[in-house]
Amino acid sequence: MDNGSVNVGVGSFEVSNFDPESFDLSRFGLFTEIIDDERYKRSVERFKERKIALPTFSQLADPNKIPQSIRTSLSDVDRNDADPLNLYRVHWYNDFEGGFVDIPDHVILTSEMTGVESPIIVAFGNRFPMIAAHKVLAAYSCLVPRVVTGQYDPTVHRAIWPSTGNYARGGVAISRLMGCRGVAVLPENMSRERFEWLDEWIANPEDVIKTTGSESNVKEIYDACNELEKDPGNFILNQFSEFSNHIGHHEVTSRALEHLYLAAAEKHPGLKLAAFVAASGSAGTLAAGERLKSDYGAQIVAVEALECPTMLYNGFGEHNIQGIGDKHIPLIHNVTNTDVVVAVSDRACDELGVVFNTPEGAAYLADLGVDPSIISQLGHFGLSGICNVLAAIKTAKTLGLSAEDAIVTVATDGAELYASEREAMAANRYVDGFSSSDASTAVEEHLLGADSSHVEVLDEIGRNRIFNLGYYTWVEQQGIEFDDFEMRRDQQVWKHLQKLAPIWDELIEEFNNQTGVLANR
């Protein structure tokens, strides 16, 4: 091609001539106006009838903007009830009692526990309502733009939520709160707790579809959705390809993590934000790194399981870090803006999950000098949260970070979702009980022993190699147009997408005006 083109093996794309006016957002369902008046009117009537008001992305990013009448009413609503008011809790500023906090609940891990000087700031996702995981934000981000533009009709469509667990649960919860029928599609071998929750929230057993395999079997989920899509009454909201997932985290999660960093920097003048770490999963959470990188220079670190090292080694396999399903590159992963890739073993996450939730583990960490206030917070780490912490440690060692370099990450969910996994560990690995010696072995090997192995600091070749892997899933298997696949190399495309949230906020406000629910509170 001529000047401005990049040859990358799969194809080439002119990265310097992006024209927002010619970018057809409709190809991805990203409309900025009402496209079906009849569907829109039926949605307005449904929401008016059920007294459902919708929060804006701006309000979820800064809950101080939520109307006081809503905040007052929330005091009488349990955070885990199927009450539409809980839509106003789909943010990072909740406590466990249902109140709002001034700064997101978090913990800052110190060198006594991590073995690195860099403070590791971890935001807790189990403060989110209904599902105790931050995927409820992704689900809301995907459904609300479809409703307020007249694409999705709750009186006609079933919302299909393909996932390896938490997003499907989040989608079911958001569906009920928004007067819709939700269908969970997830692998049959996910944790028992996920299915127990679904049993409580779904009235029709046929609305839980169990696909073959476990965490790594994402293609089987896609295959099931392709069959479901043949029915026009089914509306697929695939978190791996819904760019609104990216946009929601860019708008909401990034600002919460920025808040945590700035609060830490206020106490530690000169503290820099060196990196943002998140397991890939659907790649939605990774979008938070886009703002942190542009505003503070933070490197974006994408994490995967060592047992299924798709990005790192073009590999495959099975793993148990539930919540980071892989064997493919999500369409919404901005690969060409990713700086580092890290792989973490599921054995490390499993064993540390036991350490963090047993008296023997707590006692060993206390002997290391870990502050009791930190130890008391470790029950808020699910398997993927532990994975993120280990990846943050490996990142700090690889990049040679100091006490002046903060790393931010998230614990997507908490240990409460994995009691059955710890029971299995006790039955199979710790048949004589979990001992202080077991705690010592796990901590020394996986936590303090985390090193710079299985880490790649990406250059242009590395980024394009990972980007190209997505071709097989999205173009060959899922039928994405080649030009739509290729244009994602261009950072201007992503910057354009990230400007949609304020436009959708205007549509949300107008939708609320049409229902009159807020005005009548």
Q: What DSSP line would sit under 56-79, residue for residue?
A: -HHHHH-GGGS-HHHHHHHTTS-T
C-alpha separations of 213 from 218, 220, 342 in Å: 9, 8, 24
CA–CA separation, 422 and 34 (whole Å): 48
Task: Extract the residue ranges of the chain whose pLDDT is less than 70.
Answer: 1-17, 21, 165, 214-216, 320, 322-326
C-alpha separations of 201 from 143, 172, 187, 223, 354 in Å: 18, 7, 18, 25, 29
Q: Looking up tokens 């060592």, which residue turns up? A: 306
pLDDT at position 324: 64
CA–CA separation, 490 and 16 (whole Å): 8
Reading the block at residue 222, the tokens are: 């896609």
43-52: pLDDT as tens digits: 999 999 999 9
Domains of the chain by range and CATH? 33-100+130-244 (3.40.50.1100), 106-128+249-461 (3.40.50.1100)
Q: Are strands 5-7 and 12-14 parallel, antiparallel or unpaired?
A: antiparallel
CA–CA separation, 411 and 280 (whole Å): 13
pLDDT at position 221: 86
* Burial degree of 26 (CB within 10 A; 0-12, 13-18, 19+): exposed
Give the CA angle between residues 18, 19, 25 to the nearest 5°.
100
Q: Are strands 158-162 and 120-124 parallel, antiparallel or unpaired?
A: unpaired
What amino acid is encoded at 285 in this protein?
A: T
Closest-CA residue to 354 (of 450, 448, 411, 424): 424
CA–CA separation, 76 and 99 (whole Å): 10
pLDDT at position 6: 44
Reading the block at residue 446, the tokens are: 């996986």
pLDDT at position 325: 56
List CB contacts of 6: < 8 A, sequence separation 6 or more: 12, 13, 15, 464, 489
Contact status, residue 24 vs residue 483, Cβ threshold 8 Å: no
Q: Buried b vs exposed e over 456-478: b needs ≥16 C-beta within 10 Å?
A: bebeeebbbbbbbbbbebbbeeb
CA–CA separation, 178 and 314 (whole Å): 40
CA–CA separation, 340 and 343 (whole Å): 10
List CB contacts of 206: < 8 A, sequence separation 6 or more: none
List CB contacts of 499: < 8 A, sequence separation 6 or more: none
pLDDT at position 12: 42
pLDDT at position 27: 87
List CB contacts of 491: < 8 A, sequence separation 6 or more: 15, 334, 336, 337
Compute the radius of gyration of the chain from its Cα atoms.
22
